[in-house]
A and B are shown apart, each in its own frame.
Chain A
Amino acid sequence: MTLFMPRAPRKTGLVLFPAFDWCISPSHPEREERLLYTKDQLIEEGLEDVENIYFFNPEMALEKDVDRVHLCVPSAAELMTASHFISTGGAIRAARALMDREVERAFAIVRPPGHHAMQTVFGDRGFCIVNIEAIMVEYIRRHYGVRKIAIVDTDCHHGDGTQDIFYNDPDTLFISMHQDGRTIFPGSGFVHESGGPSAPGYTINLPLPPSTSEEGFDTVMERVVLPLLEEFQPELIINSAGQDNHYSDPITNMNFTAQGYARLNSNLNPDICVLEGGYALEGALPYTNLGIILAMAGMDTSHVREPDYMPERFVQSAEMNRYIDDICDQAIGVFAGRHEAKKQFAGQQQVVERKRIFYDTTMFQAAETRVYHLCSRCPGFTEVTAEGLHQHIHGFSVPFNACGSCASKAKDSFAKTDRESDTVTVLQDRVADIFERK
């Protein structure tokens, strides 16, 4: 069809799974209708016939894929529905398409989303139960031996789940740009949240003021994201591609556009995008998703404009520009100071961190204590105890980049821990790819 259909300069794979029969509740933003208009737009555009654009069905993720990342209470199977396994499998399918060189870029346009799901999971938070890109990342590491990965979260909400999962991993650079947590769920994502003791400076938060527009995102990309990626040199770049920074989104307050999203993705040039939020079903998603796809494929995005797009509505004040510049300076400082920051933990054996995690969907809190067992040769293993809904978990988690001695220490500690009737006790060893419960 070379003559009659355009050819994408980059082979791009799409896993489009709108789950038209799944919702959190009928009037919830995560409802059946969410991707209806997006699917209609993408199909009507004829993307299926564009040369070098490929559509894939998702697959079912396995419990094993989930258990590699999460500590689910009581278990992954009991918390997740078929939809969650399919959307996770959608992200995995996108990754396989890329890693097996079926395509050069891949986009999982799937739901339910995942970036608010943390390491421990007691239920649904921020419309997410499991973190589909984190599961995908560890799947890639396990099956394809990739080490350094950058995750850039462009959803309007702070990617707190992804941050939590990779907080102590210096091989994952996590950058989240989002509406300032003082004004929106989940209320986190400040510059000082910058990584655990083994990975200080590898979590970068860019809390942007409400009404940030194209200019602000351009600034953040040029001044922070691109230079940091250049320095970090990841093997893969993943975009947690939420689209709720859009000016018409009903649950956020930003002023971003389809043109802006397209440009952001052209500049970021991610290997994989995974859809996150975005709840302006009609006015934004059909255009933002199309813009992102065309940008990934290297195609012309200049005609992707919302029907009511007017450029003059997206001019930022000088004051806002200064404010954003200041946020950028702080973030640059965090990354530049990462080696210095690590020194303060030198010689320490353990660092303890406590937090309370709010599950907004069904309104309860979980309490968590994390003990980072530090190591001079690797990021060390993490011991987690958490309680939520009167259920307990005690987990020993060995990261993929742990050294042999940390792995066996975790194993020993797990073996020595007595089985308790009200507690799920778990060994999660990503090096040996083991998940053991007692």
Chain B
Amino acid sequence: MIIGIDVGGTHADGVLLQGGTIRAKKKVLLGGEALEESIITLLQALVPADKSRLRRIHLSTTLCTNALIQQSLDRVGMFIQAGPGMNPEFLRCGDDVHFLSGAVDHRGQVQRGPSLAEVEEAAVAMREKNIDSVGIVTKFSHRNNEHELWVRNKIADDFNHISLGHRLSGMPNFPRRVYTTWLNSALKSRFHLFRQAMQFGFSRLNIDCPCYILKADGGTISFDGACEFPCQTIHSGPSASVMGALALVGGNRDAILLDIGGTTTDIALLADGIPLLEPYGASVGGRPTLIRALLTRSVGLGGDSSVVWEDGAFRIGPERRGAPMTFGGGAPTPTDAMRVLGRISEGREDRARQAMEMLRPGESAEKTAEELLQCFADKVYGVVGNMIEEVFSRPVYTVADFLEREKITPENLIVIGGPAAALQATLESAFNLPCLVPADYEVANAVGAARARLTVQASLYADTTQRRLTIPEISLLESIDKLFDMDSAEQRLEEAVRMLARELGGEAPVEIDFIERMQMNTVRGFATTGRIISLKAQIRPGLTEITE
């Protein structure tokens, strides 16, 4: 059995799953007490009588998101080596950024070492300000982590929490690496406290099964792993929702997932049943990062969005002005339209009709309601269209990829969230696609959290001319011989993924996919000097089969 808990903005949901069946569900309001306490309360209600049957607890938490919003972050000292390129001043993300000299180039070749004096001076300045959490990032550290490790070794005794850029992602994009590292450092002590509180709660309830945290990419990470990489746990709400919709409906086709709430609609896309990921990573509080994340877009359209009639058209949202009129509010909303059309049965019908008449006096309430919902669906349709276009427009770098590009062609819509059932028919006609609304959709997020499985990504870069192999995610940098080839690369990377899987999840890893395979000969003069191999491997987001 698995317990899945999803912490949202106003309340937290939990389910106890046995196989695919929901054995228990529970909802608690958040507010008064600490987050940890609310989670423990939920657990108390969900834990099966025979505790030994509980295999795991999966938790999607807003802890990091809240810390960011409330600015209760650690003060972070940053060591940044930018080398040649854009003026790095914009990366001065706090008062404690220290730029270091030296450079590693695009091929991972050291051009100039960092200066010890600069590092020591920066470390002293940080210690004087009682900074205990630092980040170290160099440009191209995914190609060669030597300088990040060198700086770490010089300051290892001075700080409790040290985050290294290359460990957080093997992807390129230096500014994103800087922000990811900064964020990870800023969340560290906060997350440690959270784990302490949770462990205390577990022991109070006599639970000793492992606890996993949901990540932004729809996968899980062990609690220990999350303490090392807390930044991975942001945006776990949308990711729980996507995995939930997948668990409740599934399929292996291209599809659109909609989570329609009171004020927003979250959209995700499935290609052959697999949720699409952001090309680099999530954007967190405006900062671009390398935190692997599901591709989701949120639009300010929900059941409770306020509606006005302007210049012959409806304007829906993005703001919410209290409750829908049918529930006693003062401004017309899509929910009122649903009430007028009998798509929902709660709420006062006369107030709902009034809302429609306020919008368009003299027009029949049914017609206004019908057109309002249609407009709602059309707007979502427009955003989905843009998203599909955006995915199609992702850069390609080879003739073969250019010629083989294919657009996502969704075969159905999967809709969860409060107004899902009420909008089913309207969405079906706007998208001209079958629209599925799963049963139990109100606990979709908790189910998603419960069913999510471990995800891992690792990247390999081998340069046989320089005889160097690197897998940044496991800090691997070693010599290779001239004969190192794609087969050896696959083997090494698979080992790395299995190792990471053990470290971050402890589960037996499932299928490993190789993605972004590239091999190119390097030629100097007229002779081939070696080859560059670049390869990524992942355990993609998917669902665990719960057998007992």
- A287, closest chain B residue (CB): B84
From B93, B395, B520, A55 is in contact (CB under 8 Å) with: B395
Q: Mark A40-79, 1 if CB is under 8 A from B, else 0.
A: 1101111111100001111000000000000000000000
Query: What A residues does B522 contact at CB under 8 A?
Result: 33
B395→A57 contact, CB < 8 A: yes
Of the stretches B198-206, B269-277, B399-407, the one at the interface is B399-407
Q: How far is the CA of A44 from the CA of B105 in the complex (A)?
A: 10
From B88, B174, B280, A303 is in contact (CB under 8 Å) with: B88
Q: How far is the CA of A36 from the CA of B403 in the complex (A)?
A: 20
From B176, B528, B532, A46 is in contact (CB under 8 Å) with: B176
- A59, closest chain B residue (CB): B402
Q: How far is the CA of A39 from the CA of B140 in the complex (A)?
A: 13
From B106, B518, B523, A44 is in contact (CB under 8 Å) with: B106
A335 smallest CB distance to B (angstroms): 37
Q: How far is the CA of A1 from the CA of B398 in the complex (A)?
A: 30
Given A32-B520, A41-B106, A46-B173, check contact A1 B393 (CB 8 Å). no
Given A26-B523, A307-B112, check contact A294 B84 (CB 8 Å). no
Q: How far is the CA of A308 from the CA of B110 in the complex (A)?
A: 12
Of the stretches A11-19, A312-320, A364-372, the one at the interface is A11-19
B85→A290 contact, CB < 8 A: yes
Q: Mark B149-176, 1 if CB is under 8 A from A, else 0.
A: 0000000000000000000000011111
Query: What A residues does B396 contact at CB under 8 A?
Result: 17, 57
Query: What A residues does B398 contact at CB under 8 A?
Result: 19-22
CB contact list, B89-111 vs A, under 8 A: 90, 93, 103, 105-107, 111
Is chain A's binding surface mostly helix, strand, loop or mixed? loop
Q: How far is the CA of A22 from the CA of B103 in the complex (A)?
A: 31
CB contact list, A76-134 vs B, under 8 A: 82-83, 86
A374 smallest CB distance to B (angstroms): 43
B532→A36 contact, CB < 8 A: yes
Is A187 interfacial (CB-CB < 8 Å)? no
Is A3 interfacial (CB-CB < 8 Å)? yes
Is B127 interfacial (CB-CB < 8 Å)? no
B521→A32 contact, CB < 8 A: yes
Is A299 interfacial (CB-CB < 8 Å)? yes
- A309, closest chain B residue (CB): B84
Interface centre among A45, A55, A294, A300 (most CB of B within 10 A): A45
A16→B395 contact, CB < 8 A: yes
B399→A86 contact, CB < 8 A: yes
Is B287 interfacial (CB-CB < 8 Å)? yes
Is A206 interfacial (CB-CB < 8 Å)? no
Q: How far is the CA of A290 from the CA of B174 in the complex (A)?
A: 15
- A258, closest chain B residue (CB): B84
Query: What B residues does A246 contact at CB under 8 A?
Result: none
Is B286 interfacial (CB-CB < 8 Å)? yes
B294 smallest CB distance to A (angstroms): 19
Query: What B residues does A4 contact at CB under 8 A?
Result: 90, 93, 175, 179, 286-288
- A6, closest chain B residue (CB): B90
Q: How far is the CA of A50 from the CA of B88 in the complex (A)?
A: 12
Total contacting residues, chain B, CB less than 8 A:
47
The number of inter-chain residue pairs (CB within 8 angstroms) is 136
Query: What B residues does A19 contact at CB under 8 A?
Result: 397-399
Query: What A residues does B93 contact at CB under 8 A?
Result: 4
Is A222 interfacial (CB-CB < 8 Å)? no
Is A37 interfacial (CB-CB < 8 Å)? yes
A3→B288 contact, CB < 8 A: no
A58→B173 contact, CB < 8 A: no
Q: Mark B163-198, 1 if CB is under 8 A from A, else 0.
A: 000000000111110010000000000000000000
Q: How far is the CA of A3 from the CA of B175 in the complex (A)?
A: 13
B90→A41 contact, CB < 8 A: no
Is B34 interfacial (CB-CB < 8 Å)? no
Is B527 interfacial (CB-CB < 8 Å)? yes
A5→B528 contact, CB < 8 A: no
Q: How far is the CA of A304 from the CA of B280 in the complex (A)?
A: 24
Query: What B residues does A3 contact at CB under 8 A?
Result: 286
Is B18 interfacial (CB-CB < 8 Å)? no
B399→A22 contact, CB < 8 A: yes
B395→A41 contact, CB < 8 A: no
Q: How far is the CA of A83 from the CA of B396 in the complex (A)?
A: 13
A44→B90 contact, CB < 8 A: no
Query: What B residues does A37 contact at CB under 8 A?
Result: 106-107
B399→A83 contact, CB < 8 A: yes
Query: What A residues does B175 contact at CB under 8 A?
Result: 4-5, 45-46, 49
A33→B521 contact, CB < 8 A: yes
Query: What A residues does B483 contact at CB under 8 A?
Result: none
Is A282 interfacial (CB-CB < 8 Å)? yes
- B526, closest chain A residue (CB): A27
Is A286 interfacial (CB-CB < 8 Å)? yes
From A56, A250, A286, A303, B106 is in contact (CB under 8 Å) with: A286
Given A27-B526, A282-B107, A302-B87, check contact A45 B397 (CB 8 Å). no
Q: How far is the CA of A57 from the CA of B401 in the complex (A)?
A: 11
Query: What A residues does B526 contact at CB under 8 A?
Result: 27
Interchain residue pairs with CB less than 8 A apart (23) = A2-B286, A4-B179, A4-B288, A6-B86, A17-B396, A17-B397, A19-B398, A20-B520, A31-B521, A36-B520, A36-B532, A37-B107, A40-B106, A40-B172, A41-B85, A41-B106, A48-B173, A50-B86, A57-B396, A57-B402, A287-B84, A300-B87, A307-B103
- Closest 8 pairs between A and B when the two form their complex, measured CB to CB: A46-B175, A307-B111, A300-B87, A21-B398, A40-B106, A49-B288, A27-B526, A44-B172
Given A31-B523, A300-B87, A303-B87, 19 further pairs, Cβ under 8 A = A1-B286, A4-B287, A17-B402, A21-B398, A21-B399, A33-B520, A33-B523, A36-B532, A37-B106, A46-B173, A46-B175, A57-B396, A58-B402, A82-B403, A86-B402, A287-B84, A303-B82, A303-B85, A307-B112
